[in-house]
Structure formats: C-alpha cells, structure tokens
A and B are shown apart, each in its own frame.
Chain A
C-alpha cells in the first residue's frame, strides 16, 4: 500500500511540474518546443486511432468509420453545436445569467437608441461594402483583362486580401491622420499634415478634417477600408468569370457591332451574373462578421460600432453575457439568408454547367 501511495505522490508531483509547463511555457525555445510537442502528440494519437481500427482483420465497418469520423464529430459537437445552443439559451437571461428575462435582450438590442445606431451602421456596412467593392473589382477586372500588365495589376489590388485587418486599419489610420492647424503670427500654418488625405485637402485649399471622429461620416471612412480589402476578392473571381465567357459569344456580339460599354452592358455583365451574385453575398457575409476594423480604428467610439463589435464589447468588456449572446444570435440570424442564397446560387451555377 505504502509503495502505491508513494508512487501516486511522485506521479502527482511530476504531473504538477509537467502540466504547469504545458500551460505556461515561456520564452521562445520553450514555446517552439511546446508547439512541436503538440503536433507530435496529435500525430501519435491520430496514428493510434488508425492502427487500432486497421489491425484486426474482421472489424465491423461502423467501428472503422468511427475511427475516421469520430475525432471530427467530437470537435464540432463540443466546439460548435453545443456552444451555439448554449448561447441561444443564454441570450434569454439577464447579464448575470441567472434571471430569466425572455426576449428582453433582443428587445433592448432593437429598441435602445445606442443600439439603433449600431444597427444603422451595420446596415451601412452590409449594403455599401459589397456594392462598392464589387463595382471597383468589376471595373478593374474588365479594364486590365488581356492587357500586358494584367498579372501585376491584379496582384496589386489583390494584395490587401492577404494582410490582417488590423494591419489594413493601421495603414488607413495613417492615411486619415489629422493635425489641428496651428497658425503663426502671420496667419500661416506652422505645422504640416502627416496624413495624405488631409494634405490633399490642404493642397486644394480646404480645411483638414477629423475623418474618424465626425459622425456619421466617419462610418464611411471605416467602410472604405473594407472596400479596399474586398475589391481584390471581387476582382479575382469576376476576372475568372469574364475569362470563362465563351469566345464565340463575344465574337458574335462584335460582329453585331457591339463596342466598349455596350459589350460590357449586354454581354459581360449578363454572362457573369451568377458570379456577381456569389461575390456580393460572400462579401456581405464577411462584412457582417468583421469587427477588427472598427476595433482598431475607433474602438467603436464616435458612433461607429457595429453588431460584431458590440457583441465583443458586451460579452468580454462590459460582462453582459445575456446581451452579448443575443447579439451573437442576431448575427447568426442575419447571416442565414445570405448563406442560403449564396449556396443556392452556387448550386444553380453548377447545374447549368
């Protein structure tokens, strides 16, 4: 008995040390080691599962299937299905998660002044970003199509897609940078603008503006950042769609005497309609869920918050779990019709092919 108790104590002692390290690795070497360990551990576990289901000769099919599908199902059940249901449930409770208040959180989210601004802003984002980004992407795709610089030109517009929204926000905050104008004795400005847009305003004889502070216009300047990013996505997909327009159609239209804008209006746009719909809905979905830009540029101040940002603030900064949950559910409900439409359009396009 003593031996076992002793061994138990030793195991417990070492486990403390090991688990402490597993949870709090610090310093570059340790962290990289931990990363390698995690990957190896994972490979060993998966390999073990595979070996176990493969070894015996007469193993029932369902057991094999469980070995292959099981881990994935476990992950999504634990990490997506259960939390989503749980959040819907939480959204019916007050901030302390104890008092049942029915739909009060939803009523608040739709009726209080503060949240009406949030909803208005979200609507602005979801309408403007897809439309304007797609417009820019489409024009650009048509203009650079089959030119000598096509590849580099497309890369330039697509590049913002690869960087983080935080990085993009910083890039644009620098563009919008504002300096209060200080005048010297003769009435000439003593300081320079360091943001390019304000400098341009000064050059053409206008007053510099506080782009990120003056509501409601500041929303437009935040939206511009998302447009700047998403236009590349629209351009890439639409460009591929334009290239897939059969040459005989283009040729026939040309023989009928269609040129330039007419060609664009009557041949290009109708031919890529399914791609246009997919691009618009896809960008709308992405936009709905994005909060990085608002958070980095204004932190939701000056009347710029959107639902995704408000969700984060309520849930993790203001500690109102119920309202946060309600906002997450609202986000979910808003996404559903977009997804359904998007998927149906894709299916449709696939069938046509």
Chain B
C-alpha cells in the first residue's frame, strides 16, 4: 500500500510545501478538473444524502441560535421554527445573561480569558525549551527521558486529580487561578513536548551546526535559528490548547469552581443543572461561551486541524 493517511502527516508534522510534496505527480489545472468531473459520485441521491447530513448537523445549533434572540415569552409559547410567524427579535436575553445579577456571565467570561491565556503561554514556553534540549543537546539519559515524557501522554487527567487537589490544599493555593494555570500547563506538557520535538527534528541539522560554528550558544541558536522556523508548529499547538482550555469543564470544576475563578463552562453547566427551563438564558449563555472558540476556529482552521491530529491522545 502506498497510501499516505492524514494522521501521519499530522504526527510527522511536516509543513506542506516545506518538505516533501504530498504526491510526487504534480497535476495541471486542466488534468485536475478532468479528474474532478469524472471522479464525482454525481447522482442526485448522493447530493441528496449529503444535503440531509449537512442539515442534520446544522439544525440543532441554528435552532438554539434563533431561540437566543426570541423573547422569553415566545420561547415558552412555541418552538423556534415558528419564528417567522411572529418575527420579533431581541437582544434582551444577552443583556440579561451577561449583566443580570443572577447570571452575571461577563464575570465568568473574564475568568475564562484569565484562565486561558497563561494556560496556553506557559506550557508552550516550557515545552519549547524541553523539546529543544531533547532534539539538539546531547546529554545522558536523553532518549529514555524523552520516551518517558512521550508515554505520559496516555495518563488520563482523572487519575491525577485527587492527589493534585490534596497538594494544592496543603499549600493553601486551592481555589485560586494559580492552581488552574498550573494544572492545565502540566496536562499540556507531554503532548506539547512531543509535538514540538517532532518539528524541531525536521529542521536541517546543518542550520544548527552552522550557527554553532559561528560561536552561538544554545540560547542564541534557540531564539535566532529555531524559533522563527517553529512558528507554524507553535500556532498549531497554541490553537489546539486554546480551544481545549477554553472548552474544558473537568479541570475547571475540580480546581477552579470557586465563583471568583470559575470559567463560563462551569457556570453554564450550573445553569443547565439548576434552571433547566430558562431557555432564554441558557441559549444566549451558550452562545456567549461559544463565540470566541468558533471565531478562533474559523480563522485558524488549518492550524487547528494539525494540532488536533497530533493531539488526539490528550486528556
């Protein structure tokens, strides 16, 4: 078999175009079009099925989205598909869920931001350094340490939680942002190191050697030679980690469920548990929690896919 499955691309982490091209045969535009015309399964049945699946996958989100702009009375009255019968739209739900005293989502939104940014920056920096050492510094026990870190990817985060929490409590740190940052950083490290190490290994050794001959130390090589080349890899991991942390519920529940620290996901889950029928708040609240990841995703989809492929083991 000479197939070239995508996950391998992701794991081997090669920039398309930078190293080997995917297929050795470059097709001209006309040839491609010819294949496209012939290659399509172009029966009306096929397009019908595709459209049905697309609708199935979109309707649920669309329905809640429409609902979030209806008045709370309309929402209780009938389903969102009747919206065209009485097209009254309002932003009151968003107003209430963001600033209303009982929900106050704006505060939780800020908590999510405060949690997410360091939880992305810190593990990336630590992992970059470690990955550099694993790739370019010769020291004893290097191989075995790297394999150990790699293997740690399979540890489910659940198994670490009780001892970690006990430790945080005994340090008097429990319930602060610090423990949430620390926990997210720890959980991200094995994957980040593995991923960035793979990228670093792909950089031609001659580049590093040349810099070394010029008398550059490790720090200089790291910042001036390698870092610029690693931007795509860092972006891939950053987008993955950003979405992971922003959307996380478990870590936040265990380490940061105090009101002062709790992120949107925790608050939203609470709201769904206690007041399952207040759909005008739940719908608008859900979209407030979703808007940032959706924008990040739409803008940086390419990086996200690569991070995802490599990061599928995490959690």
A residues near B (Cβ < 8 Å) are 22-26, 28, 31-32, 34-35, 38-39, 42-43, 46, 50-51, 53-54, 61-62, 64-65, 67-69, 71-73, 75-76, 78-84, 86-88, 90, 136, 139-140, 142-147, 153, 155-167, 169-175, 177, 192-196, 199, 228, 231-233, 236-241, 244-248, 250-251, 254, 260, 263-264, 270-275, 278-279, 282, 285-286, 289, 291-292, 295-296, 299, 308, 311-312, 315-316, 321, 324-325, 327-329, 331-332, 335-336, 339, 342, 346, 349-350, 352-353
Contacts and interface: CB of A to CB of B under 8 A. Distances in A.
Contacts of B38: 254
B158 A46 contact: no
B130 A285 contact: no
A335 B156 contact: yes
B3 A175 contact: no
A160 B75 contact: no
Contact of B110 (A31, A54, A146, A339): A31
B187 to A, nearest CB: 7
Contact of A87 (B11, B159, B219): B159
Contacts of A286: 312, 315
Contacts of A299: 273
B182 interface: yes
Contact of B61 (A72, A139, A160): A160
Nearest to A49: B129
Given A160-B61, A289-B315, A350 B162 contact: no
Interface residues of B, number: 137
Interface residues of chain A: helix, strand, loop or mixed (majority): helix
B114 A34 contact: yes
B53 A140 contact: yes
Given A76-B152, A170-B272, A244-B3, A84 B53 contact: no
B75 to A, nearest CB: 7
Interface string B292-315: 011011100100110011001101
B232 interface: no
Contacts of A336: 154
Interface of B: 1-9, 11-12, 22-23, 25, 27, 35-36, 38-41, 43, 46-47, 49-50, 53-54, 57-61, 63-64, 67, 75-82, 106-107, 110-111, 113-114, 117-118, 121-122, 125-127, 129-130, 132-134, 137-140, 142, 145, 149, 152-164, 167, 172-173, 175-178, 181-183, 185-187, 189-190, 193, 217-220, 243, 246-250, 253-254, 260, 264-265, 268-269, 272-273, 276, 279, 282-283, 286, 289-290, 293-294, 296-298, 301, 304-305, 308-309, 312-313, 315
Contacts of A28: 106-107, 110
Q: Which of A24, A156, A244 has the most CB of B within 10 A?
A: A244
Contacts of B160: 79-80, 83-84, 87
B243 A228 contact: no
Nearest to B315: A289
Nearest to B43: A260
A54 B296 contact: no
Nearest to B24: A246
Contact of B297 (A159, A196, A240, A251): A159
Nearest to B23: A246
Given A315-B161, A316-B254, A39 B5 contact: no
Nearest to A274: B5
A331 B154 CA distance: 11
Contacts of B22: 244
A342 B313 contact: yes
Contacts of A146: 35-36, 39-40
Given A159-B297, A315-B162, 13 more contacts: A31-B111, A50-B219, A69-B134, A83-B167, A140-B54, A147-B50, A158-B301, A170-B282, A170-B286, A193-B79, A285-B315, A312-B254, A324-B162
Given A23-B176, A39-B117, A156-B58, A295 B163 contact: no
Contacts of B79: 192-196, 199
A32 B110 contact: yes
B312 A163 contact: no
B118 A68 contact: no
A153 B265 CA distance: 28
Q: Which 9 A-B pairs have the closest CB atoms?
A: A79-B186, A240-B6, A162-B297, A164-B247, A275-B5, A68-B133, A72-B130, A83-B160, A83-B163
